[in-house]
Structure 1
Amino acid sequence: MARTVEGEYEPPIVNFGEMGPIRCNRCNANMQFVDAGRRFQCLMCKLTTDVPTEYFQHLGHTGQRVDKYERPELVLGT
C-alpha cells in the first residue's frame, strides 16, 4: 500500500475475527445489501446470500445500513 503523507489519516484496520470479511460465497467480491438488510447481492456474479446474523443491520429510508458510518468497511470509498 502507499505510504500516507503528512495530514492524511491512517486507513482503519477492520478485524472481523473468525467470521472474516463479508464477501460473496461464490466469487469473493463485494456486496450490495438487499431485502431490508437481511441478504446481500454480489456486485459481480449477482448471487444473493443471507447476511450472517451477527452482521445484520436494518436499512434506512435511503437503502443504506443504519450503522454505515460506524463501520469503516462500508463507508470508505463512497
Structure 2
Amino acid sequence: MKKVEASMAGTVWKVLVEAGNNVEAGQTVIILESMKMEIPLEVVESGTVKSISVSEGDFVNEGDVLLELE
C-alpha cells in the first residue's frame, strides 16, 4: 500500500483523481493551498487510487495521509 501524505499544513484546494483511477509516477493528484501558494502533490509510483481520505476545503497537517494507492 502506497500513501500520499501532506507535505505541509494547509487546505485541500483541489482533488484531481477519484477512487479507481490509474495514476502514473509523477502525476499530480492533489493540490494544497498554504500561505496563498498552491502546492501540487505527486505520486512517486504508478498505481490505482484505492481511497481518498480528504475532500476539497479540508484542513490537513503535515504528514496526514491524503490518499492510498494499490
**TM-score with structure 1 setting the length:** 0.30
- Computing the radius of gyration from Cα coordinates, the structure with the larger value is 1
Structure ranking higher in strand proportion: 2
**Whose RCO is larger (CA < 8 A, sep 6+)?**
2
